[in-house]
Structure 1
């Protein structure tokens, strides 16, 4: 297991480059929501659009809302990445969104079936790259502090009936069982509001605790890269 923490002037650019390189392999890439990833997606679509031809895209999590809802991670990715790629004449092979409008239980089961189908069986899928953010409470994906999703070791996707932060709508999330099948996980965090959760998760003396879900990544993923700006790294 290795954790590579990089403090950069523009972590969004580094993230865009890594995403584009992973997409170009034609292997499975997992995207996430949030303002920092939005910037990285826009950079990738504008600078390295051709790398995304034939890309195979998934989501780390999403809220149980329709695809046109402003709270939808899919909508953000569509606006910042998929639509610009389409305008540039680039066709991704697929982008499997989470069908949150079906409710958290059915949507999670459907998403897991898709992972099994594409991967060639239960637990068989591999991810070239998984991109994650970190919430103000240290959550990753939609696995919140102290919630049951943190203990799941068999299923790759589960429903989350109650989110730990606003907006308080049900969600669907990948689990640590799924993240353990990633060749590399990139954690992207920018801004002063991320300094505390980043320190709680990745400082040298930070304990691994379910009260800071991001701190548990190191128990499940072999290769972790943390991309930060100065503000997010201020308390490391």
Structure 2
């Protein structure tokens, strides 16, 4: 399927607007970690406050997690709690249903636990999956050339060896869990993301296990890539023929 790329001055705000729309419609959303998504979660809270949207009917899932307790500063759930859930709770509103990955467990045990949760829920067809792209092209916690990239039955896997810092084991959704989503959104900012973005989504991109993010578009129904001008510099140059 095709990839739609948008280069925006404030991609985090555009992402937040999409999240609000899905959450207001009682949708299932997959959240991810990272500094740019964290900014989007803050924008999400601001938008909910401004518009007065009820997001209590929505359900939040996670793309991946580090094998750390939820209070650890490296926890994706901990970041989402601090940036999104706690501010909503302080406002006195009802919160979404949250399914966190249990990072305090060993990776395989946490993966089995989350797989059971997903399958007990249907598994759900996610309305929106939010992902980042790493400097090495990874998505969620699926790193270059790892066995997780070829998984086609399990929805969740434990990852013993992370491909970059923090070097702690992980838990990750797999392609079978992700590709059934109605919409997948990649969010990236900064010039350090320009090369992996071009390699994964540029006009000459091809599926390549060295660049895990490049493997998703051919499998998915709709992929949108939200970039700031720095992250989009190389795809913009390619599109203009520069």
Q: TM-score, normalised by structure 1?
A: 0.96
Name the residue aligned to 1:139: 138
User: CA contact under 8 A between 1:20 and 1:51: conserved in structure 2?
Assistant: no
Give the count of matched residue pairs: 232
In the alignment, which residue of structure 2 is the partner of 1:159?
158
The worse-fitting range, judged by mean Cα deviation, of 203-212 and 83-92 is 83-92
Contact 1:208 1:215 in 2 (8 A): yes
Q: How does 1:1-236 map to 2 (within 5 A)?
A: 1-49=1-49, 50-119=53-122, 124-236=123-235
Equivalent pair of 2:131/2:140 in contact (CA under 8 Å): yes
2:239 maps to: none
* Counterpart Cα distance in 2 of 1:152 and 1:82: 32
Gaps of 5+ in 1: none
Say if 1:11 and 1:188, in contact at 8 Å, map to a contact too. yes
Deviation at 1:93, TM superposition (A): 3.7
State the Cα deviation string for residues 46-100 of structure 1 (Å, max 9, x = none).
1224242222000000001000000000011001100111111222241111001
Q: 1:125 and 1:232 mapped to 2: Cα distance?
A: 32
Deviations 1:25-64 (A, max 9, x none): 1121100000000000001111224242222000000001
Would the alpha carbon gap of residues 51 and 131 (structure 1) be closer, same or farther in structure 2, given more than 3 Å must change?
A: farther
**Structure 1: how far apart are the matches of 2:105 and 2:8?**
40
* Cα distance between partner residues in 1 of 2:65 and 2:93: 24
Distance of 2:184 and 2:54 partners within structure 1: 19
Distance, in Å, in 2 between the alignment partners of 1:227 and 1:51 is 25
